[in-house]
């Protein structure tokens, strides 16, 4: 019976050759044949090998050189290394801001070991992202596919490729340990939606891709928690959807436009409210107002005096922001994140506040966060 069935299939394929041509049928036959597996490797190993082969050529080694000066004011080059990955065939490379921000010159090492100068295109310290560019033929570039970090599931496979301690194109594997973490950037602003992974990440991995089992970039490796200086299984990556949202601005303008209120404040909790005898149990007490900033122009007032609170001097007496556009405000970080996510520079927002215990509403036109 088996022989008869095979014969019928062979006759059908022969007919297809006459109708479609040998090339078409060769493709049809190939599609029906299962792909050979390497003997002795588990399905998980096969996945990692496949992802590394596909994505590895798109990962680059970035060497940054910054000039410092010795005691006699002689210039002394200092080098740092990091990772990055190609995002398109024009030569744009995505990496971390902290990999390139102090650099006087940048060099990229490609998968074929060739080295090429790179130029800084744009950076955003608030999200620890940067874009650099190299000028090489398209054939030397292997852009990586950007995935969807909003669809991540805790427990799914996470694969990191980078250059830890200068060791080119090292691959490590783990899982997505958690999502929705928060990380403080060098600018002091909070990066939200951070991916936590136990895929080993070490110094030099910064700026490299975190990939899913399909080889799509899901994050940009940025930081680790470590008491020892090495990986302890707690790594953090900036979600790729954040990078996709900011890439056009970084390439076109060299920077990202962040809405700015122009205040510094103190988070109010019931404990703080009780200790300082405040009229509100939650909100943000304005400590300082930038004189020429949006809040200052709208008439928002900062603190008027300082009092001792334990071993600290605390500024008090400023307006207490309760709501923005009808949304309750509970912390400075939450307020900043809301403005970044829901508004743009030039938007008007309604701010509800308490001044000397009395409610007041003001309209503020958001400005642009100044460069650090």
Catalytic residue among 124, 128, 198, 340: 128
Quote the strand ranges of 240-316, DSSP E: 259-260, 263-268, 283-289, 305-309, 312-316
Residue 72: predicted pLDDT: 64
In angstroms, the CA 117 to CA 130 distance is 16
- Is 367's pLDDT higher than 90? yes
The two three-digit tokens of residue 47, written as one number: 């996945």
> Which of 57, 65, 68 minimizes the C-alpha distance to 82?
65
Residue 224: predicted pLDDT: 80
Q: Give catalytic status of residue 206 as yes or no.
A: yes
CATH of 56-140, one of 3.90.550.10, 2.60.40.1180, 2.60.120.10, 2.40.10.10: 2.40.10.10
In angstroms, the CA 329 to CA 304 distance is 22
Residue 27: predicted pLDDT: 35
Q: How far apart, in Å, are the Cα atoms of 135 and each of 2, 115, 139, 163, 221?
A: 58, 11, 12, 22, 25
- Is 360's pLDDT higher than 90? yes
In angstroms, the CA 155 to CA 51 distance is 18
To the nearest 10°, the Cα dihedral for 236, 237, 241, 247? 140
Q: What's the mean pLDDT when you consider all of the chain?
A: 86
Q: Give catalytic status of residue 347 as yes or no.
A: no
CATH of 259-368, one of 2.30.42.10, 2.60.40.10, 3.20.20.105, 3.30.2130.10: 2.30.42.10
In angstroms, the CA 121 to CA 84 distance is 14
Query: What are 263's strand-pairing partners?
Result: 289
Which regions of the chain carry the CATH code 2.30.42.10? 259-368
In angstroms, the CA 129 to CA 133 distance is 14
> Which of 98, 371, 133, 136 minimizes the C-alpha distance to 238?
98
Q: Give catalytic status of residue 30 as yes or no.
A: no
Query: What are 84's strand-pairing partners?
Result: 60
- Is 34's pLDDT higher than 50? no
- Is 39's pLDDT higher than 80? no
Catalytic residue among 83, 125, 206, 231: 206
Catalytic residue among 64, 83, 98, 149: 98
Q: Kindly state the DSSP code that residue 104 receives in the 8-state scheme.
A: S
What's the whole-model pTM score? 0.80
Residue 186: predicted pLDDT: 80
Proportion of the chain above pLDDT 90, given as a percent: 68
Contact predicate 162/59, CB 8 Å: yes
At 353 the three-state DSSP class reads: strand
Q: Using one digit for the tens of pLDDT, what is the confidence trace for 310-351?
A: 788 888 899 999 999 999 999 999 999 899 989 999 999 999
What are residue 28's phi and psi, to 5 degrees? Answer: -65, -45
Q: Kindly state the DSSP code that residue 143 receives in the 8-state scheme.
A: P
CATH number of 149-253: 2.40.10.10
Which regions of the chain carry the CATH code 2.40.10.10? 56-140, 149-253
């Amino acid at each position: 019976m088996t022989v008869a069935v095979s014969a019928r299939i062979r006759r059908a394929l022969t007919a297809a050759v006459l109708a479609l041509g040998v090339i078409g049928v060769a493709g049809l036959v190939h599609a029906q044949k299962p792909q050979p597996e390497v003997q002795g490797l588990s399905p998980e190993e096969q996945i990692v090998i496949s992802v590394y082969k596909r994505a590895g050529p798109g990962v680059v080694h970035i060497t940054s050189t910054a000039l410092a000066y010795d005691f006699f004011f002689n210039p002394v080059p200092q080098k740092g290394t990091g990772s990055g990955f190609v995002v398109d065939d024009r030569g744009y490379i995505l990496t971390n801001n902290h990999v390139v921000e102090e650099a006087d010159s940048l060099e990229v090492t490609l998968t074929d070991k060739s080295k090429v100068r790179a130029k800084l295109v744009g950076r955003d310290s608030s999200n620890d992202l940067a874009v650099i560019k190299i000028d090489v033929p398209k054939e030397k570039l292997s852009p990586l596919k950007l995935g969807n970090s909003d669809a991540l599931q805790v427990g799914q496979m996470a694969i990191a490729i980078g250059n830890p301690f200068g060791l080119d194109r090292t691959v490590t594997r783990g899982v997505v340990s958690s999502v929705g973490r928060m990380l403080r950037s060098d600018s002091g602003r909070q990066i939200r939606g951070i991916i936590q992974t136990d895929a080993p990440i070490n110094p030099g991995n910064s700026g490299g891709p975190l990939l899913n089992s399909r080889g799509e970039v899901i994050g940009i490796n940025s930081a680790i928690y470590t008491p020892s200086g090495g990986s302890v299984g707690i790594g953090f990556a900036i979600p790729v959807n954040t990078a996709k949202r900011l890439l056009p601005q970084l390439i076109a303008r060299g920077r990202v436009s962040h809405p700015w209120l122009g205040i510094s404040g103190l988070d109010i909790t019931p404990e703080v409210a009780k200790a300082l005898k405040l009229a509100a149990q939650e909100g943000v007490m304005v400590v300082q107002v930038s004189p020429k900033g949006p809040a200052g122009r709208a008439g928002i007032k900062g603190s008027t005096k300082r009092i001792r609170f334990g071993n600290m001097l605390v500024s008090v007496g400023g307006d207490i922001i309760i709501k923005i556009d009808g949304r309750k405000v509970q912390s400075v970080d939450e307020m900043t994140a809301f403005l970044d996510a829901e508004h743009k520079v030039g938007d008007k927002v309604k701010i509800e506040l308490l001044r000397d215990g009395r409610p007041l509403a003001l309209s503020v036109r958001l400005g642009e966060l100044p460069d650090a």
